Amino acid sequence: MNTSSTTDYQTSVKSARFAFVLLFLLYMFDYIDRLVISALFPFLKEDWGLTDTHCGLLISAVYWSILLLSLPSSIVVDRWSRRKSIGIMSLLWGFACMACAFTRNFTQLFAARTVIGIGEAGYAPGGAAMISALFPQEKRAKMLGLWNASIPLGSAMGIALGGLIAEHFGWRNAFGIVAIPGILVALLFFKVKDYQTVELVQTPAKEKEEAPKKLPLRNITFQFMRNKTLISNNLAFAANTFVTTSLLTWLPSYFNRLEGIPMSKAGLKSGLVLLMAIVGAPLGGYLADRWQRKRKNARLLFPSLSSLATGLILFIAFVFLRGNLQYGVLILAGVFAIAFVPASVAVTQDVVHPGLRATSTGLCVVVQHLFGSALGPPFIGALSDKYGLETAMQFLPLFTFLAAILYFVGSFFYERDLARVERIELVMEE
């Protein structure tokens, strides 16, 4: 390798690492902003007389916005600019989180939470597309796993910081304080290098045709609607996020009520459980990539097994155990609960045209929120209002078992759908 090419390679590696670090930080602050409210439920209930159903709706408001806007936002990301889209959206959700501090009733807070979701709608699709472009395909699940480790880190920080700030400075200040760092990182993101927008073309069917043909709209639709791998993968993702979002939302209140501890301590206990996913996310991606060297469909088989393990652990913890033993088992669940994400997100990138990767992730986001994240918190909240939170949490393992079945079904179609994908080299902007 000559000096010029070596310098170009080093510059490329540095640019990729810089972009990855900022993407990691943004996802972390995204979840801090999104989940800080979980630790504020007792304060909101005391000040405004809210029910558990109301509190669940304040979580799902974000996910309903993401659900409605992820697909159109991801199309903009694919066809316009990953860097500009992510930067603008990150600023929007940061300012919306800050606005929550100035609300005076449930309706205003619900509206502000909705705007947070509007800002977040295209971030996950855009981030996944950038990481898939910046790093080799054989490392895709591992890098997505490292990126997704920011989710439990941000979630744990949001819940822990929310309770501490609320007790010492008031619950309104919790929103404002956690919003500021994310806004600063969003401004930095406009400095990263993006890849050039990929033309939607397909390889000519006949050898005599010299130039690639533009991909017809019908074929674009078929990329998603007839892709059995994606359908199974996305539905399984939704079943798992029903569980993970419910845990993020209700675990602090669970400890607060069953153990009679203050919310600051309950938030810290919950944060440690959720923080264990910082091990599960990168480990899940690493193991899925390693297994794929021997088994092509490992990116579906691995989340099937991890989902099954998560369900068994949660069933034992919530049905049979209490106290310190239960807490120890829940910490183990924290490792397994998010291990499905890296491989599952990698699948959304593997089996579609390179020019549709953000759109593919956006579709997954729509499905996961429609059938998972947006339903989980209010569903558990409604069950809690009727039967108690202890009973409500015992329903969660059923959904991880469903996810395990769906991933296993999808594994039978992965190799066929992968073979249909166009091979197009991505070019970075100057």
Position 22 pLDDT exceeds 50:
yes
Phi, psi at 201, each rounded to 5°: -125, 160
Closest to 340 in 3D by CA, of 227, 195, 238, 198: 238
- In degrees, to the nearest 5, what angle opens at C-alpha 417 toward C-alphas 412 and 418? 105
Residues forming beta bridges with residue 213, ordered by sequence position:
202
Q: What is the pLDDT of residue 388?
A: 95
Position 103 pLDDT exceeds 90:
yes
Position 10 pLDDT exceeds 50:
no
Name the residue type at position 293. Answer: R
Any idea which of 71-75, 177-181, 209-213 has the lowest mean pLDDT?
A: 209-213
Q: What is the pLDDT of residue 2?
A: 46
Q: What is the pLDDT of residue 4?
A: 42
Mean pLDDT (the chain) is 87
Read off the pLDDT of residues 372-411 as tens digits, 9 standing for 90 and up.
988 898 899 999 999 999 999 999 999 999 999 999 999 9
Q: What is the pLDDT of residue 345?
A: 94
Q: What is the pLDDT of residue 277?
A: 84
Position 210 pLDDT exceeds 80:
no
Closest to 152 in 3D by CA, of 44, 284, 261: 284
Closest to 32 in 3D by CA, of 133, 180, 147: 180
Neighbours of 78 (CB within 10 A): 27
- Per-residue three-class SS string for the chain: CCHHHHHHHHHHHHHHHHHHHHHHHHHHHHHHHHHHHHHHHHHHHHHHCCCHHHHHHHHHHHHHHHHHHHHHHHHHHHHCCHHHHHHHHHHHHHHHHHHHHHCCCHHHHHHHHHHHHHHHCCHHHHHHHHHHHHCCHHHHHHHHHHHHCHHHHHHHHHHHHHHHHHHHHCHHHHHHHHHHHHHHHHHHHCCCCCECCCCCEECCCCCCCCCCEECCHHHHHHHHHCCHHHHHHHHHHHHHHHHHHHHHHHHHHHHHHHHCCCHHHHHHHHHHHHHCHHHHHHHHHHHHHHHHCCCCCHHHHHHHHHHHHHHHHHHHHHHHCCHHHHHHHHHHHHHHCCCCHHHHHHHHHHCCCHHHHHHHHHHHHHHHHHHHHCCHHHHHHHHHHHHCHHHHHHHHHHHHHHHHHHHHHHCCCHHHHHHCCCCCCCCECC
- Pairwise CA distance, residues 385 & 41, whole Å: 14
What does the chain come to in residues?
A: 430
- Pairwise CA distance, residues 98 & 176, whole Å: 4
- Tell which phi-psi region holds residue 405, choosing left (phi > 0), alpha (psi between -120 and 50) or beta: alpha
Any idea which of 75-84, 179-188, 199-208 has the lowest mean pLDDT?
A: 199-208
pLDDT-based confidence at residue 9 (cuts at 50, 70, 90): very low
Q: What is the pLDDT of residue 428?
A: 67
Read off the pLDDT of residues 104-113 as tens digits, 9 standing for 90 and up.
999 999 999 9
Read off the pLDDT of residues 38-48 as tens digits, 9 standing for 90 and up.
889 889 999 99
Residue 326 lies in a domain: yes
Closest to 337 in 3D by CA, of 359, 320, 314, 354: 314
Position 196 pLDDT exceeds 60:
yes
The fraction of the chain above a pLDDT of 90, given in percent, is 49
234: which residues sit within 8 A by CB, 6+ positions away? Answer: 348, 363, 364, 367, 368
CA-based max dimension of the chain: 75
- Pairwise CA distance, residues 141 & 137, whole Å: 8
Position 158 pLDDT exceeds 60:
yes
Any idea which of 198-212, 262-276, 335-349 has the lowest mean pLDDT?
A: 198-212
70: which residues sit within 8 A by CB, 6+ positions away? Answer: 121, 122, 124, 125, 362, 363, 365, 366, 369
Q: What is the pLDDT of residue 208?
A: 45
Q: What is the pLDDT of residue 410?
A: 97
Residue 327 lies in a domain: yes
Residue 201 lies in a domain: no
* Residue range(s) defining the domain that contains residue 179: 17-190+219-419
Residue 211 lies in a domain: no
Q: What is the pLDDT of residue 236?
A: 98
Residue 197 lies in a domain: no
Phi, psi at 61, each rounded to 5°: -55, -40
Higher pLDDT, 135 or 292: 292
Check which CATH number belongs to the domain holding 367 and give it: 1.20.1250.20
pLDDT-based confidence at residue 238 (cuts at 50, 70, 90): very high
223 close to 352: Cβ distance less than 8 angstroms: yes
Position 429 pLDDT exceeds 80:
no
Q: What is the mean pLDDT of residues 267-285?
A: 87
Q: What is the mean pLDDT of residues 319-334?
A: 95
Q: How many domains does the structure of the chain reveal?
A: 1
pLDDT-based confidence at residue 188 (cuts at 50, 70, 90): very high
Position 187 pLDDT exceeds 80:
yes
Residue 281 lies in a domain: yes
Residue 212 lies in a domain: no
Higher pLDDT, 130 or 159: 130
Residue 207 lies in a domain: no
Residues forming beta bridges with residue 428, ordered by sequence position:
195
Q: What is the mean pLDDT of residues 211-231?
A: 76
